[in-house]
Each structure stands twice: as C-alpha cells, then as structure tokens.
Amino acid sequence: MKKLRILLADDHIVMRTGLRALLERQPNLEVVGESENGRETVALAAALRPDVVVMDVGMPVLNGIEATQTIVTQNPTVAVVILSMHADESYVMRALKSGARGYLLKDSAAADLIGAIHAISQGKSFFSPKVSRILAEDYVRVLKQKGAVDTYDLLTSREREILQLLAEGQTNKDVATALNISPYTVETHRSHILQKLNLHNSAELVLYAVRKGIIS
Amino acid sequence: MATLSKLAGQDGEQMTQQEPDRPVASKSRNREWFGSRAALFAGFGTLLILMATVSIDSLYTLQAFEIHNTQIRQEFVYREHTLEQVRTGVYESGDIISDYAVIESDPQSHERLRDEFQSIRNETTASLKACIESLPADKREPLQRLADELERYWLKGGRLLALLAKENKGLGHSALRSDVLSQYAEVLAITREVRAVNDNELKETDWRIAETFARFRRRLLVLGMIGFSFGLILATTTIVYAGRLEKSLQEKYRESLQAQRELKELSKRLVDAEEGERRAISRELHDEVGQSLSALLIEVGNLTEVCGEEAALRQGLQRIKTLAENCVNEVRNMALLLRPSMLDDLGLVAALDWQGRETSKRTSMLVETVDENVSESLPEEYKTCVYRIVQEALNNCSKHAYAKNVRVVVRQEAKYLRVSIEDDGKGFDTSRVRGLGLVGMNERVSQFGGVLKVESDPARGTRLRVDLPLPSAPADLEN
C-alpha cells in the first residue's frame, strides 16, 4: 500500500518533533518535509506535492490559513488539516473557507491526528470532537436565546441525507453515485438546502453540519 | 501717600514672606509691587481721598469767605450808621444850641431844649459806645478818639447851655460858644476821618479777599495738577498691571493648552503601550507557553503509545495529559483575555463575532454582531480601538444595563468607520452618569479625532455610537 506523504508546517520545532514522532510510528504515513512559516510551506507544498499538509494557524510571514488558501488554489488535490489552539467558530469558518478539510485542536492532536489524516486524505471532513461539541453547544444556545425555530426541521429526509454526504466532503458526483440519482438532482437539493438553512457556500454548509453534530 | 506706600510695601513683604521657598530679588519685588493689586488699590484710594479733600476744602474755604465778607460788610454798614448817627446828633445839638441862644428865651423852652440835648447826647454816646465795644481792641482807636472828642463836645455844649440859662445875653459865653463851635467842627472832622478810615478798611478788606482768592485759586491749581499727575501715574500703572495680567493669562492659557496636548499624547502613548504589552504577553503565552504545552501533550501521547500495558505508567501519563490540557486551556484563556489572537489572525469582524459569542456564553445577553463592508486591512490601531470600545460597551451592558439583547453594528464608509452598540437594558441619564468606562472610550475615540455619542433613555435602553474618521489614504492601498 502506498504511504501517505505528509508535510508538517509549524513554527515550533518541539511541536514538529512531537508530531513527526507521532506520525512516523504509523507504517502507512511518511513525513516528507517540514516548514516553519507560511511562505516556506507554500513553496514546499508545490515542490513536494504531499497528500496531506498538517498546518499550524499562527505562523510568521504568512499565517496558516492564508497559506492553506494558496496551496489549495494551486493544487486542489492536497488535503490540509489545520492545527489550532482555538475551538472558536471564527477560526473554523476561516479554515473551511480557505479550503482546509480538517480542523484539529492542538491539545487533542495526539489522539485525533492519525484519524484526521486518513479521513481528509479520502476527501472527507474532520473536526476535533471538542470543536464539534463547542460549535453544537453554541448553536443550540443561540437558538434557545433567540427563541428561533431550528431550520433543520425544515429539511426533508432526503435533503438531510444529502446534507450529511456533502458536509462529509463528497462532491455532487459522489453523492449522485451513492444515492443513484443524477448530479443535477443533487445540485437542486443542495441549493434548496442552502436556501432553507440560510447558508451561502460549502464552507458554511460544513460548519452548519458540524454545529448540528451531523458530522464530526 | 508716603505712609500708604510704606504700609503697602510691608504688605508686599508679608506676601513674599508667606512663600519663603521662592527667592525673589528685592528689585524685582519692588517692581512687582509697583504693578500689584495692592498698589492699585492704594493709588485709587489716595486719588479719591485727594479729590474729596480738595472738594471739601474748597467748599469750606468758599463758605468761610462768604461769612467773613458778609460780616465785614455788616460791620462797615454798622459803623457808617453809627457815624451818621453821631453826625446827626452833633448837627441837631448844634441847632439846639443856636435855638437856645438866639430864638427861645422862656425857661420852659430852655428846659425842653436841654432835655432834648441831653437825650441826643445819651443816645449818641450809647450808640458810639456800643459800636466801639463791638470792635476788636486794635481797631478802637479812631472811634475812641471820636468818642473822647464827642464827650468833650458834649461837656462843652452842656456847659454852654448851663451858662446861657443863667445869663442869656452875657458876654462870658461868647468865648465858650466859639470853643463849642470849634469842638463841633473838630467832632465833625473826626467823623469824616473815621469814615475815611472805615472806607479804607473796607477797600483793604476787599483787596485782602481778592488776594486770598488768588491764593485759593493757586492752591486749587496745584492740587489739581497733583491730582492729575497722580491720576496719570495711576492710569499708567493700571495699564501696566492689566498688560501684565493679560500677558500672564496668555502664558497660562498657552501652558494649559500645551499641557493638554502633552496629556493627550501621553494618554495615547499609554494606551498604545498597554495594548502593545498586552499583545506581547498574549503572544508569548499563546505561542510559546501554549505551543510548548501542546507539544508536551503530543509527546505524552507518543509516550502512551510506546509504554505498553503497565497500568501505573499509563495512569501517570493520563494525569500528566489532563494537567497539561488544563494548562493549555488556562493559558489560552489568559491570552485571549489580554488580547484575542483573532484580532491579529482573522481581523476585526472575526474578533467581534468571537467576543459577541463569548459574551453570550458568559452572560444571559444575546449579542448579535453585524458588519457592513468592513475591510480586513484596517489600520491596526483602528481595529484595536473598535475592539476595545465594543468590549467595554458589552461589559457595561451586562454589568449595569441588565440587557437581554445587544446589537453591535460596524460599518465602513468612504471616510468613516461607524460603530453602534444598542441594548435593550434599563438605560441611564446621560447628563448625570459618566462612568470611567465611558471616559476611557471617549479618550480612545478622541485620539482618532472621532466622536462618541451616548443616547440613553431609562425606558428604552442605551445606544452608543462611535464615528471614527478613516485616514485619507484608502486603507486597502497601504498593503
């Protein structure tokens, strides 16, 4: 089996050393490079063409989120997992918008990183359980405070099914194949879902799914 | 005046003695006194006293002149009158003597004429005596001489009358008669003399009055000149004093403006320094301590993987993991409290969103943040300013207003960054309440030349509005 090639981006050498040790114990993972700032990461990603980039948010020169955006734009097949100190939705949202597929908290990296790398390398989304929990709690709390109706109830069961698949990172085509319907039908469902939930793009859709606990 | 200035000088000394720390050269102290308020008071006081004295003196002098003048004239008239009476008496007595000698011959008529002569004599002598007694001793001489001569005349006349009564047509009386006649002439001559003296005296008095008046005029002129000069000096002093006051006032005003500017600059630097410190500490905590702890966690994870199945070791590692996780949380919260990394990593909008969410979590308020057209490349200090203002406002909303809903709107326009924070809390009277929080916000806003407005109504909650003028160059072009 082909090993997954990984690029580690973190400005702290202790962090990189720890992560490298963690990853190299896995037989099917291989750390192909390390970088210590955003710009170097972009350059290395272009040169090494890794399968997965493990990206720290706070890095000098160019921060992790902006670096992610550049890397994903240049090479959409690269899967980026963000390592962050913050379980806040602003960060998650920005990470998702920048094209990252996974969002991990540093303090749970040891437990979740391996799983996250495998998930995102298969095109799925991955969030630290703690992040999912916090986002879901916030969502419920705001709904309660506002006394608003949970828009999720407006979705049909088919739409919920499609929402989950899309949020997991699957493309319209994948969903169409999985459900044995046409990609156009999937697209129609998708736009209904966005409209009903008052969402505007895929990143918001994923965030919504995380908040609702549909994916994690 | 000399006493006054001496007194005032002592005052001045006392004043400077009260401030012994300040060394003042005596010359400058004198100069200081020259234009001081005490000197002005003394000067004006003296001028007023001088004017009052001159007025009272003039009035008094004029009145005295008038009284004196009237008295002299009355005395003159009185003497004239007495002289006239004497002359009349002498004429009449002369007539009586003639009548007595020439016309009448019966004893009864003689008796009547003698009585008449006697009464004229008494009357005239009494009048003259009264007049003499009314005069001061040194002026009695001419009248006294008149009185002596008159008395002699009366004696001679009386003797003549007595002689005529005895021997009417005798020759013995002709000598006496001529004697009486010469005495008669003598008295009349003296009356003329006295009259002349009297006239002279009046003239002399008039001349003396004129002279005194001239002296009075001179004195008035001199006093007027002194008053005028004094007034002139006083006016100059006043102008000098006012000028110095004005100058010192301007100086003070300039100093206070300068102090105000410096204070503002200082407060800006203080705010900047505080923010810088916070950011540095926050970064240090977050990047160094936080990252190291995260790395520690990963290492613990790695260790757990390789340590095998020994329970004690695994439990120990688990405890270390828990401790480190707690530490990470603590450090993260501390760092965020100091300065949220979102502000630097993700920009103002994300930071405000985060703040809103955190406030909603901590309190029972629902915070809604709305951003319109807010550029991520706003200058750093603007981001910080808005963030801190919103932070303070949210703090107020939850602490004092007991609000349920807060709406934060940040809107960027061509020339302004507008922020409004509205709550549905209990509001307050803006004219009376001015907490330190609002003062601090105002201070921040005024550093950018912005305006902070608070509209509050006890019934309808509070609305805080901040308008910050943006730098003239579009912020987007700076990067």
Interface probe for A, chosen from B303, B345, B371 (most Cβ of A below 10 Å), is: B345
* A107 interaction partners in chain B (CB closer than 8 Å): 293-294, 297, 324-325, 328-329
Q: Comparing C-alpha atoms, which of A99, A134, A100 is closest to residue A117?
A: A100
If asked whether residues B353 and B220 sit together in one domain, one would say: no
Q: Do A15 and B346 touch (CB under 8 A)?
A: no
User: B22 to chain A, minimum CA–CA distance in Å?
Assistant: 59
Q: What is the CATH number of the domain that holds B45?
A: 1.20.1420
User: B465 to chain A, minimum CA–CA distance in Å?
Assistant: 24
If asked whether residues B351 and B231 sit together in one domain, one would say: no
* B350 interaction partners in chain A (CB closer than 8 Å): 90-91, 93-94
User: B409 to chain A, minimum CA–CA distance in Å?
Assistant: 17
If asked whether residues B42 and B176 sit together in one domain, one would say: yes
Residue B251 covered by a domain:
no
Domain around B106: 37-235
Residue B91 covered by a domain:
yes
Among candidates A93, A106, A111 on the partner chain, residue whose Cβ is nearest the Cβ of B294: A106
Domains along chain A with CATH numbers: 4-129 (3.40.50.2300), 149-212 (1.10.10.10)
Residue B183 covered by a domain:
yes
- One digit per residue, the tens of pLDDT, for chain B of length 479 reads 444 444 444 444 444 444 444 444 455 555 565 557 777 888 888 888 988 988 898 898 888 888 888 888 888 888 889 888 888 888 888 888 777 766 656 777 778 888 888 898 888 888 888 888 888 888 788 888 888 888 888 888 888 777 777 765 555 567 777 777 888 888 888 888 888 888 888 888 888 888 888 988 898 899 889 888 888 988 888 898 889 899 999 999 999 999 988 988 888 888 888 888 888 898 888 888 888 888 888 888 888 888 878 888 888 988 998 998 899 888 888 888 888 888 888 888 888 988 888 888 888 888 888 888 888 788 888 888 899 999 988 888 887 778 888 999 999 988 899 999 998 888 777 766 666 678 888 888 888 888 998 888 777 888 899 999 988 754 444 43
Q: Do B342 and A142 touch (CB under 8 A)?
A: no
Residue B203 covered by a domain:
yes
Residue of B nearest to A141 (CA): B361
Q: Which of B192, B209, B235 is the last residue of a domain?
A: B235
> Considering its fold, how many domains does chain B have in total?
2
If asked whether residues B228 and B353 sit together in one domain, one would say: no
Interface probe for B, chosen from A90, A92, A138 (most Cβ of B below 10 Å), is: A90
* B366 interaction partners in chain A (CB closer than 8 Å): 142, 145-146
Q: Which two tokens stand for residue B301?
A: 């994870």
B294 at interface of A, judged by CB pairs closer than 8 A: yes
Residue B57 covered by a domain:
yes
Query: What pLDDT, in 10s, does the model give residues A10-49?
Result: 988 888 998 998 898 888 999 999 999 999 999 999 999 9
ipTM greater than 0.85, yes or no?
no
Residue B240 covered by a domain:
no
Residue B473 covered by a domain:
yes
Q: What is the CATH number of the domain that holds B429?
A: 3.30.565.10
Residues 341-380 of B with CB under 8 A from A: 341-342, 345-346, 350-351, 353-354, 357, 360-361, 364, 366
Residue B375 covered by a domain:
yes
